[in-house]
Amino acid sequence: MVGRGYTIFDTAIGRCGIIWSSTGVVAVQLPEAREMDTRRRIFQVHPEAREQQPPLNAELAIEGIVGLLQGNDPNFSDVSLDAGGVPGFNRRVYEYACTIPRGETRTYHEVAKALGASGAAHSVAQAVAKNRYMLIVPCHRVLEAGNYTDRLSPYGGVISKRRLLALEGAHPVASKTLFEVLLPVAPPRPST
Protein backbone atom coordinates (compact mmCIF):
# COMPACT_ATOMS: atom_id res chain seq x y z
CA MET A 1 0.00 0.00 0.00
CA VAL A 2 1.24 3.44 -0.88
CA GLY A 3 0.05 6.55 0.95
CA ARG A 4 -2.76 6.55 3.47
CA GLY A 5 -6.09 4.81 3.55
CA TYR A 6 -9.20 5.27 5.64
CA THR A 7 -12.52 3.63 6.29
CA ILE A 8 -15.69 4.51 8.16
CA PHE A 9 -17.18 1.93 10.53
CA ASP A 10 -20.17 1.50 12.83
CA THR A 11 -19.91 1.65 16.62
CA ALA A 12 -22.34 1.97 19.52
CA ILE A 13 -21.82 5.76 19.52
CA GLY A 14 -22.00 6.34 15.76
CA ARG A 15 -19.89 6.02 12.62
CA CYS A 16 -16.18 6.39 13.38
CA GLY A 17 -13.26 6.67 11.00
CA ILE A 18 -9.76 5.24 11.02
CA ILE A 19 -6.79 6.38 8.95
CA TRP A 20 -3.71 4.21 8.40
CA SER A 21 -0.41 4.06 6.55
CA SER A 22 1.90 1.16 5.78
CA THR A 23 3.47 1.75 9.22
CA GLY A 24 0.28 1.60 11.30
CA VAL A 25 -2.77 3.52 12.46
CA VAL A 26 -2.33 7.23 11.79
CA ALA A 27 -5.50 8.45 13.51
CA VAL A 28 -8.93 7.53 14.79
CA GLN A 29 -11.82 9.90 14.21
CA LEU A 30 -14.72 9.58 16.61
CA PRO A 31 -18.14 10.41 15.17
CA GLU A 32 -19.27 13.91 14.42
CA ALA A 33 -22.99 14.74 14.47
CA ARG A 34 -23.34 13.38 10.91
CA GLU A 35 -21.25 10.89 8.93
CA MET A 36 -20.66 13.58 6.31
CA ASP A 37 -19.04 15.74 9.01
CA THR A 38 -16.86 12.82 10.13
CA ARG A 39 -15.67 12.35 6.55
CA ARG A 40 -15.10 16.09 6.18
CA ARG A 41 -12.91 16.11 9.31
CA ILE A 42 -10.85 13.21 7.92
CA PHE A 43 -10.38 15.03 4.59
CA GLN A 44 -9.39 18.27 6.35
CA VAL A 45 -6.66 16.59 8.36
CA HIS A 46 -5.66 13.83 5.91
CA PRO A 47 -6.51 15.06 2.39
CA GLU A 48 -4.24 12.41 0.85
CA ALA A 49 -6.12 9.46 2.43
CA ARG A 50 -8.29 7.34 0.16
CA GLU A 51 -11.16 5.12 1.23
CA GLN A 52 -10.00 1.50 1.13
CA GLN A 53 -10.52 -1.92 2.63
CA PRO A 54 -8.64 -1.82 5.97
CA PRO A 55 -5.52 -3.97 6.41
CA LEU A 56 -5.27 -6.44 9.32
CA ASN A 57 -3.72 -3.88 11.68
CA ALA A 58 -6.59 -1.43 11.12
CA GLU A 59 -9.10 -4.28 11.43
CA LEU A 60 -7.65 -5.15 14.85
CA ALA A 61 -7.98 -1.51 15.90
CA ILE A 62 -11.57 -1.32 14.60
CA GLU A 63 -12.52 -4.51 16.44
CA GLY A 64 -11.05 -3.14 19.67
CA ILE A 65 -12.72 0.27 19.29
CA VAL A 66 -16.11 -1.32 18.59
CA GLY A 67 -15.68 -3.57 21.62
CA LEU A 68 -14.60 -0.75 23.91
CA LEU A 69 -17.62 1.33 22.91
CA GLN A 70 -19.86 -1.66 23.74
CA GLY A 71 -18.41 -1.78 27.24
CA ASN A 72 -15.70 -4.40 26.68
CA ASP A 73 -12.05 -4.08 27.71
CA PRO A 74 -10.04 -4.65 24.52
CA ASN A 75 -6.30 -5.10 24.32
CA PHE A 76 -4.71 -2.82 21.71
CA SER A 77 -1.16 -4.10 22.28
CA ASP A 78 -1.06 -5.77 18.83
CA VAL A 79 -2.13 -2.59 17.03
CA SER A 80 0.77 -0.73 15.40
CA LEU A 81 0.67 3.06 15.41
CA ASP A 82 2.29 5.35 12.87
CA ALA A 83 4.01 7.77 15.24
CA GLY A 84 5.85 9.68 12.52
CA GLY A 85 5.94 13.34 13.50
CA VAL A 86 4.78 12.73 17.08
CA PRO A 87 7.17 14.52 19.50
CA GLY A 88 9.02 12.34 22.01
CA PHE A 89 7.33 13.87 25.06
CA ASN A 90 3.89 13.23 23.54
CA ARG A 91 4.87 9.60 22.92
CA ARG A 92 5.81 9.26 26.58
CA VAL A 93 2.44 10.72 27.60
CA TYR A 94 0.64 8.28 25.29
CA GLU A 95 2.62 5.32 26.60
CA TYR A 96 1.72 6.34 30.15
CA ALA A 97 -1.96 6.84 29.23
CA CYS A 98 -2.02 3.24 27.98
CA THR A 99 -1.08 2.05 31.48
CA ILE A 100 -4.04 3.75 33.18
CA PRO A 101 -6.53 0.99 33.99
CA ARG A 102 -10.01 1.11 32.52
CA GLY A 103 -12.36 2.95 34.86
CA GLU A 104 -9.58 5.08 36.39
CA THR A 105 -8.31 8.57 35.64
CA ARG A 106 -5.20 10.63 36.27
CA THR A 107 -4.68 14.39 36.26
CA TYR A 108 -2.27 16.21 33.97
CA HIS A 109 -0.11 16.89 37.01
CA GLU A 110 -0.07 13.21 38.06
CA VAL A 111 1.02 12.16 34.57
CA ALA A 112 3.73 14.83 34.46
CA LYS A 113 5.01 13.74 37.87
CA ALA A 114 5.00 10.06 36.83
CA LEU A 115 7.07 11.00 33.76
CA GLY A 116 9.61 12.79 35.94
CA ALA A 117 8.56 16.20 34.66
CA SER A 118 6.45 17.47 37.58
CA GLY A 119 6.31 21.03 36.23
CA ALA A 120 5.05 19.90 32.84
CA ALA A 121 1.30 19.56 33.47
CA HIS A 122 0.62 22.08 30.69
CA SER A 123 2.77 20.04 28.29
CA VAL A 124 0.82 16.91 29.23
CA ALA A 125 -2.42 18.78 28.51
CA GLN A 126 -1.05 19.81 25.11
CA ALA A 127 -0.03 16.22 24.31
CA VAL A 128 -3.48 14.94 25.31
CA ALA A 129 -5.13 17.58 23.12
CA LYS A 130 -3.06 16.37 20.15
CA ASN A 131 -3.81 12.66 20.62
CA ARG A 132 -4.77 11.38 17.22
CA TYR A 133 -5.15 7.75 18.33
CA MET A 134 -8.46 8.18 20.17
CA LEU A 135 -9.41 5.18 22.32
CA ILE A 136 -6.37 3.15 21.22
CA VAL A 137 -4.37 5.58 23.34
CA PRO A 138 -6.90 6.35 26.10
CA CYS A 139 -6.07 10.00 26.75
CA HIS A 140 -9.70 10.50 27.79
CA ARG A 141 -8.51 9.02 31.10
CA VAL A 142 -6.22 12.02 31.65
CA LEU A 143 -8.08 14.99 33.10
CA GLU A 144 -7.33 18.47 34.34
CA ALA A 145 -7.09 19.08 38.09
CA GLY A 146 -10.42 18.56 39.80
CA ASN A 147 -11.24 15.76 37.35
CA TYR A 148 -13.14 18.09 35.05
CA THR A 149 -14.19 16.33 31.90
CA ASP A 150 -13.61 18.57 28.97
CA ARG A 151 -13.98 18.09 25.25
CA LEU A 152 -11.62 15.74 23.50
CA SER A 153 -9.03 16.51 20.86
CA PRO A 154 -10.08 17.50 17.32
CA TYR A 155 -10.38 13.77 16.60
CA GLY A 156 -12.97 13.45 19.36
CA GLY A 157 -15.95 14.53 17.32
CA VAL A 158 -18.97 15.40 19.44
CA ILE A 159 -18.15 12.82 22.11
CA SER A 160 -17.01 14.10 25.50
CA LYS A 161 -14.50 12.59 27.91
CA ARG A 162 -17.38 12.22 30.35
CA ARG A 163 -19.29 9.97 27.94
CA LEU A 164 -16.24 7.83 27.16
CA LEU A 165 -15.44 7.45 30.85
CA ALA A 166 -19.06 6.52 31.58
CA LEU A 167 -18.86 3.83 28.88
CA GLU A 168 -15.81 2.45 30.67
CA GLY A 169 -17.54 2.51 34.04
CA ALA A 170 -15.24 5.19 35.45
CA HIS A 171 -16.13 6.87 38.70
CA PRO A 172 -18.39 9.86 38.13
CA VAL A 173 -16.42 12.97 37.36
CA ALA A 174 -17.50 16.52 37.84
CA SER A 175 -17.75 19.04 35.05
CA LYS A 176 -17.37 22.75 35.62
CA THR A 177 -20.57 24.59 36.22
CA LEU A 178 -21.15 28.05 34.76
CA PHE A 179 -20.63 29.43 38.27
CA GLU A 180 -17.18 27.74 38.51
CA VAL A 181 -16.18 29.01 35.08
CA LEU A 182 -17.21 32.61 35.72
CA LEU A 183 -16.18 32.96 39.37
CA PRO A 184 -12.41 33.16 38.72
CA VAL A 185 -12.91 35.98 36.21
CA ALA A 186 -15.61 37.90 38.05
CA PRO A 187 -14.45 41.31 39.29
CA PRO A 188 -14.15 41.61 43.05
CA ARG A 189 -17.03 43.28 44.87
CA PRO A 190 -16.28 46.76 46.13
CA SER A 191 -16.02 46.95 49.90
CA THR A 192 -18.69 49.01 51.60
Q: Which residues are catalytic?
A: 139
Question: pLDDT digits over 65-110, tens only?
Answer: 999 989 888 999 999 999 998 999 999 999 999 999 988 889 999 9
Spatial distance between the Cα atoms of 167 and 76, rounded to a whole number of angstroms? 17
Structure confidence at residue 189 as a pLDDT band (50, 70, 90): low
Question: pLDDT digits over 10-58, tens only?
Answer: 998 899 999 999 999 999 999 988 999 999 999 999 999 999 999 999 9
Spatial distance between the Cα atoms of 26 and 150, rounded to a whole number of angstroms? 23
